[in-house]
Structure 1
Amino acid sequence: DAPWLRDVTLCWIGYPFHEVSNAVWWYYMIEMGFYYSLLITSLFDVRRTDFRQLLFHHFVTILLLSLSWMINFIRVGTLILILHDVSDISLDWTLTRIGYFPLVVIRSAIFDAPTLIQSDYDLFNPFEIPYAPRIIIGFLFCLLALHIFWTTIIVRIVIRTITVGEAKDVRSDDESEDEKENVDGVYSRNTQKEK
């Protein structure tokens, strides 16, 4: 019900004097814990071909959450979190992550935020302080690059499903060749036995 969820420019007006409600505080802390747990558990999970990109995504997300919390960019941070969480639920990936995220959120961070926060701030002057907005925008572009990467994977899966009739995750290797399950349920690397 926050008005800045509908009008992104309200994320910047009145900055840095934005109060953080209890609900937003809890949401941020739960999300931060969630992404830390994803980062740690992914080290022990089955490694797919996009393992490095996934680790980088979790790392960038934690950095964005931390930086936005430290400099009170909580409104836009919450908007980005909701945008990503909602798209996970509805699987409306392309609309939210390839459409709304870059065209509304990143555009507003580049063009609206500097003029609404500090009218004489030149975002494109690398020597002008503060540096945090440029760092955050850089990390937002990292997330966008990862979204594009994963969107191409999703499109490849859809095309394969339509043309071949088989839905296979193109990120994973053939598990029957790669891993063998022991009696205990523990996975180990499969080595070819000579006969």
Structure 2
Amino acid sequence: MAALSAWFCNERFWLPHNVTWADFADPAPGVEYPKASHLLSALPLALGIFAVRILFERFIARPCAFLLHIHATSVHWRATPNPVLEKVFTSITKCPDWRHLDGLSKQLDWDVRKVQQWFRHRRNQDKPSVLTKFCESMWRSTFYLCIFTYGIRFLWQCPWMWDTHHCWYNYPYQVLTPGLYHYYVTELGFYWSLMFSQFTDIKRKAAKLANYAKYQRLCDFLFVLFAVVFFITRLVIYPLRILNTTLFESWEIIGPYPSWWLFNSLLLVLQVLHVIWSYLIAGIAYKALVRGKVSKDDRSDVESSSEEEADTNRTNDRGVQMAFSPKAENGTNGTNGHAVTTKSWPQIRTSSR
């Protein structure tokens, strides 16, 4: 452990030339420098934030959801316990392809459609309700709004907000002010609190609140606002302000050192991700202009309720069954020898009435 600690805390890697850890050991009275021990103070704060989240979702988010007529929906159909299918579901989590469905059908002596329905019902059991999604999104949006407001209020008073050269003057002997300490520790405590719920949380955007409340115009407006802010901050401010100061201004004032290359490499990788995400957002915006409303976010999981997916899948199942049924192939049921597709099933069902 001593050797590992010595390797990890190598001052020649982390600090500029002619700077050692001993230089931070005895600061002047009233002066505080960042320390590794400060990271530990975020642990009890993470527990407190997690407790606040539970209270917030129960006593604030849920009543707000009820006011917007968002209620918890129960799964109408539950999959019957089946060890064989459960094992396959655990390893795949999605409906198997037709080859696997046919094999499972023969193994269980079930109809293929019955096996497919079992997987659909099993997936619906694990899906969180719209109420759960709304409460989680409201908690995150509230926290981000509060920490953003605090950060802007704090940065407004800092000289390096307006002139990024101040980030590197007298570096790394920079005093840790109480405002900066509270900002970073609160942020760190929040993300550490997510470790307690990362296995159950469903990541959602703040604009999803309007989507869950069925406010489509508000949802579209928030998405447009989000896209504009994302493009400006990630494709303009980030490269021209952040990368410019970490790459060029820091090189000019303090010069490069080993960890300088690591940090800037990671920041450049982040910029590449920003370009990729911007491309995906632009694709969604283009589809919104064509279709008249925001479509599914390609960066997130599918946003559909259990009932909607079940209804869609039932319709698809019937359409596929009609398409490949012997009657369809023989030209009966008014198909004139043509296979009935999924899209034509609703019309056939209406005409049969």
TM over 0.5: yes
Q: List runs of 5+ in structure 2 lacking aligned partners.
A: 1-156, 205-224, 308-312, 319-353
Q: Does the aligned pair in 1 maintain the 2:227–2:281 contact within 8 Å?
A: no
Q: 1:112-151 to 2 correspondence within 5 Å?
A: 112-117=249-254, 121=255, 123=256, 130-151=257-278
- Between the aligned partners of 2:226 and 2:180, the Cα distance in structure 1 is 19
- Between the aligned partners of 2:248 and 2:286, the Cα distance in structure 1 is 37
Report SS of the residue matched to 2:200. coil
User: RMSD over aligned Cα, in angstroms?
Assistant: 3.5
Report SS of the residue matched to 2:234. helix
Q: Which residue number in structure 1 is paired with residue 234 of structure 2?
A: 97
Determine if the alignment matches structure 1 residue 167 to structure 2 residue 294: yes
Q: List runs of 5+ in structure 1 lacking aligned partners.
A: 49-87, 124-129, 182-190
TM-score by length of 1: 0.58
Q: 1:38-187 to 2 correspondence within 5 Å?
A: 38=194, 41-46=197-202, 92-117=229-254, 121=255, 123=256, 130-171=257-298, 172=300, 174-176=302-304, 180=306
Determine if the alignment matches structure 1 residue 9 to structure 2 residue 165: yes
1:109 to partner: Cα distance: 0.9
1:9 to partner: Cα distance: 1.0
Report SS of the residue matched to 2:283. helix
Call closer, same or farther: CA 1:43–1:4 in 2, change over 3 Å: same
Call closer, same or farther: CA 1:162–1:21 in 2, change over 3 Å: same
1:47 to partner: Cα distance: 7.5
Identity over the aligned pairs, expressed in percent?
27
1:148 to partner: Cα distance: 1.6
For residues 29-71 of structure 1, give each alpha carbon's deviation from its aligned partner in whole angstroms, at most 9, with x where no partner exists.
Answer: 11112233456644433479xxxxxxxxxxxxxxxxxxxxxxx
Which letter does structure 2 place at the counterpart of 1:159? Y
Which letter does structure 1 place at the counterpart of 2:229? D
Q: Does the aligned pair in 1 maintain the 2:296–2:302 contact within 8 Å?
A: no
- Between the aligned partners of 1:91 and 1:110, the Cα distance in structure 2 is 26
TM-score by length of 2: 0.34
Q: Which residue number in structure 1 is paired with residue 207 of structure 2?
A: none
Which letter does structure 2 place at the counterpart of 1:11? C
- Between the aligned partners of 1:26 and 1:90, the Cα distance in structure 2 is 30
Call closer, same or farther: CA 1:44–1:28 in 2, change over 3 Å: same
Q: Does the aligned pair in 1 maintain the 2:296–2:303 contact within 8 Å?
A: no
- Between the aligned partners of 2:301 and 2:290, the Cα distance in structure 1 is 20
Q: Which residue number in structure 2 is paired with residue 18 of structure 1?
A: 174
- Between the aligned partners of 2:258 and 2:196, the Cα distance in structure 1 is 29
Q: Which residue of 153, 168, 189 maps to 1:33?
A: 189
- Between the aligned partners of 1:93 and 1:47, the Cα distance in structure 2 is 18
